[in-house]
Amino acid sequence: MSDRLADEDHHDEAPGVSRRGFLSATAAGGVAAGVLPSVLAGPAGAAPAGAPGPHSSTLSVTVNGRRHQVTIDNRTSLLDLLRERLALPGTKKGCDQGACGACTVLVNGRRVNACLTLAVRCQGVEVTTIEGLAAGGELHALQQAFIEQDAFQCGYCTPGQIMSGVGCIREGHTGSREEIREWMSGNICRCGCYVKIVNAVQQAARKQGS
């Protein structure tokens, strides 16, 4: 289904500019930024192709290793881009106000709240969502740990918890249960699985450390 939407997105491109041609033209300059590019690409600069209106921009963003070129309403959050445009609803909308962490994704390897991130700021960045975490069908160690530890119930906060947990492990904040609790407290689990979320993060951190 992501194929379908990616294909639809091609229609946003100007006639005569192929997806392949576009990718090769922008591959060199598009990925130099940190978490978020400090200099925002404006609609014109970001749009070698397409015909965005006064309130829209063309954006090139890599999600789970796949380049997307989309013309978006400037008001679109990264979260809504993922859920409503790129057919990647694994990233959840819990509060849309940066208070619950359900929308946590990795942007250039670091965890961010996708609901507080305007999509237009993501020009050239690499986004990893829950859908992109398993490599070739094999679950990431933390995904596996979540299943084994039963670190979820309803499952709605789970993608955000896992993406946040991946960040937490990468940041090295897994020295103790207390440290994990502190650094995982941006992600609310209303089913109350915190004890097991800590178990799962610990398990995956150990596995990756070994």
Partner 1 sequence: MMRPAAGTPVSRVDGRLKVTGQAAYAAEHDAHDAVRGAVHGVIVTSTVGKGRITAIDTRAATALPGVLAVISHANAPKLPYRPFRRVTDPPRGEHLRVFQDDRVRFFGQPVAVAVAETLEAAQHAASLVKVTYAAERPATGLDAPAGSPNEPENYQRGDVDQALRQARTRIEQTYRLQREHHNPMEPHATIARWDGDRLTVWDKTQVVLNTRAALASVFGIAEDAVRVVSPFVGGAFGSALRAWPHVTIAALAARQVRRPVKVVLTREQLYTGTGFRPVTEYKLTLGADERGRLTAAVHDIRAETSAYEDYRESLLTQGQMVYTTPNVRQTYRSIPLDINTPTWMRGPGAATAAYAIECAMDELAHETGIDPIELRLRNEPERDPGTGAPFSTRRLRECLRTGARTVGWDDRAPEPRSTRDGDWLLGMGMAVATYHTARAPAQALARLHADGTATVQSATSDMGPGTYTSMTQVAADALGLPVSRVRFQLGDSAMPPAPPHGGSMTMASVGSAVADTCDKLRRQAVRLAIADPGSPLHGASAGDVVVQNGRLSLRDDPGRGETYQQLLARTGRPRLEARGGYTPGEETERYSTHAYGAVFAQVAVDERLGLVRVRRVLGVYDAGRIINPKLAHSQAIGGLVGGIGMALLEHTVTDPRDGRVVNANLADYLVPTNADVPDVNAVYLDGEDREAGPLGVKGLGEVVIVGVAPAIANAVFHATGRRVRDLPITLEALL
List interacting residues with partner 1 (CB under 8 A): 1, 73, 75-76, 80, 83-84, 87-97, 99-100, 102, 129-131, 133-134, 139, 143-144, 146-148, 150, 152-159, 162, 180-182, 184-185, 187-198
Question: Of 122, 15, 7, 106, which is closest to residue 58 (Cα–Cα)?
Answer: 122
**Which residue, 17 or 144, is less far from partner 1 as judged by CB?**
144
Q: Indicate the length of the chain as a whole number.
A: 210
Q: How far is the CB of 106 from partner 1 (least distance, A)?
A: 13
Q: How far is the CB of 68 from partner 1 (least distance, A)?
A: 15
Q: How far is the CB of 191 from partner 1 (least distance, A)?
A: 5
**Which residue, 9 or 73, is less far from partner 1 as judged by CB?**
73
Q: How far is the CB of 167 from partner 1 (least distance, A)?
A: 14
**Which residue, 26 or 71, is less far from partner 1 as judged by CB?**
71
**Which residue, 33 or 184, is less far from partner 1 as judged by CB?**
184
**Which residue, 26 or 187, is less far from partner 1 as judged by CB?**
187
For residues 74 and 53, give the distance between their C-alpha atoms in angstroms, rounded to a whole number: 10
> Which pair of structure tokens corresponds to residue 86?
């790129």
Q: How far is the CB of 135 from partner 1 (least distance, A)?
A: 12
Question: Of 54, 62, 191, which is closest to residue 127 (Cα–Cα)?
Answer: 62
> Which pair of structure tokens corresponds to residue 183?
């650094």
Contact 60, 123 (CB under 8 A): yes
Tell me the three state secondary structure of residue 59. strand
Could you tell me where the beta strands, DSSP code E, fall in the chain? 56-63, 66-73, 104-107, 110-113, 126-128
Q: How many CB atoms neighbour CB 134 within 10 A?
A: 12
